[in-house]
Structure 1
Amino acid sequence: MAPEHPTPTPGRRDPEGRRRAIIAAAAELIVEGGAASITHRAVAARAGVSLGSTTQYFSSLDELRDAALHSLAEGVDLELAQVAAAIEPLDSAPERFAALMHEFLVNQRQVRAEIELMGLGVTDARLRAVARRWTDRLTEILTPHVGRPAAEAIAVHLDGVTVHAGLHDEPIPVADMARAIRALMTIPHPEGSDPR
């Protein structure tokens, strides 16, 4: 789940700033129109740099797209750090966790970014690890609280809730999400396994 990042303004004598601006512009174009909407010309116009700058820093559109997708995925780490800090105690208050997820899901920009990452992970094996970053990390965060089977079920459920929010332009209500999370928390652990 990728938080919003404004496109930085590149400086004339700031090559790294120019590169960051190009990546940020490409990421925004992906969110708005999908990965297919990226062209060197569109990215240059959005970033406020010359067309030659995009090809100077990125020799191909695939390289530029991958950098933009990694940038979107890096936002996942920031988002999940906030989730990890705010879910205690999950077992007695899944409503707070559901409210955090709802807050993410009302932001259509973030929802579109996550769905785009999912879709590209399905079609491009090179991007699969980037696309699974949110689900895998969320499972790690939840496992100490509810055990691995329940953590995986909750994370997969929230992937579906994300797609639902994208298709319906709004997320399911917090109370419904919390009820589903509470039910998934009761998934039993395989006999003889460590619940955590």
Structure 2
Amino acid sequence: MSGTRREIPNDPGRKERILEAALEVIAEGGVHKTTHRKIAARAEVPLGSLTYYFDGMEDLLAQAFARLADTMSLLYRQTVQAAGSTAEAEEAVVELICGPAYATTRDLTLIFEMYAYANHNPAVSATTRTWLERSRDSLGLHFPTGVCRALDALIEGWPMHGAFDEAPLDRNLVAGTVHAIVAAAPDLARDRAGGGT
């Protein structure tokens, strides 16, 4: 029988597959066209599995967006953490904005959907706030607080604009803008002491 506990030990990755399937369905048609049936079909699981793991569609969407935020935050931190100087940290920020790994077309679509849905769902709104805090915390490994806020706005916003702009991102312009923000910080002395700029 679908959705019973007997199914679970035989398919331990089922919940994760459902969440990933939900993100795929959202990316293809948006939250407003996402249904239990579409998610179950994409995940190749019985429809009853969704009600076993999730307390309705709102809960499923909230957990799917939390999964997205966790994945993106991890990549974000890994990219920034690998920098050994302020200059390398600036390049990491440029890579987050312009590079192919972070904020792919699919990711941007999901981010748009998450931000819109966050306006109407407290759980997703909390996920979004936590994501911002985690991003700024990662940038804080190399930059002062005010710079972190400005750079994070660039990292999120510039690719979003780029999604609707036919012209490709100008990496030199992005790099120059990032450097200008970092150089304008009044308390950059501690970063410069590390030999970055």
Structures share a fold, TM > 0.5? yes
Q: How does 1:58-73 map to 2 (within 5 A)?
A: 58-73=54-69
- Could you tell me which residue of structure 2 aligns to residue 147 of structure 1? 144
Q: How does 1:44-193 map to 2 (within 5 A)?
A: 44-91=40-87, 94-103=90-99, 104=101, 107-168=104-165, 172-189=169-186
Shift of 1:24: 1.3
Cα-Cα RMSD: 2.8
2 CA distance for matches of 1:67 and 1:144?
28
- Report Cα offsets for 1:48-95 as digits up to 9, x if no partner: 112222222223111111111111111023212321233332346623
Residue 185 of structure 1: SS of its match in structure 2?
Answer: helix
Letter in 1 for 2:15: R
Residue 123 of structure 1: SS of its match in structure 2?
Answer: coil
Which runs of no fewer than 5 residues in structure 2 stay unpaired? 1-6, 192-197
Residue 132 of structure 1: SS of its match in structure 2?
Answer: helix
Q: 1:115 to 1:162 in 2, by over 3 A?
A: farther
Letter in 1 for 2:161: H
Shift of 1:105: 5.3
Q: 1:24 to 1:106 in 2, by over 3 A?
A: closer
Q: Which runs of 4+ in 1 moved over 4 A?
A: none
- 2:97–2:159 CA contact under 8 A, matched in 1: no
- 2:91–2:175 CA contact under 8 A, matched in 1: yes
2 CA distance for matches of 1:12 and 1:170?
48
1 CA distance for matches of 2:190 and 2:141?
8
Structure number with bigger Rg: 2
2 CA distance for matches of 1:165 and 1:56?
40
Q: 1:14 to 1:38 in 2, by over 3 A?
A: farther
Shift of 1:144: 4.2
What TM-score, normalized to structure 2? Answer: 0.78
- Report Cα offsets for 1:148-173 as digits up to 9, x if no partner: 11111111122211321332377522
Number of matched pairs: 183
- 1:86–1:97 CA contact under 8 A, matched in 2: no
Shift of 1:142: 2.1
- 1:25–1:46 CA contact under 8 A, matched in 2: yes
- Could you tell me which residue of structure 1 aligns to residue 195 of structure 2? none
Between the aligned residues of both structures, percent identity stands at 26
1 CA distance for matches of 2:54 and 2:190?
46
What TM-score, normalized to structure 1? Answer: 0.78
Deviates more, 1:91-100 or 1:19-28: 91-100
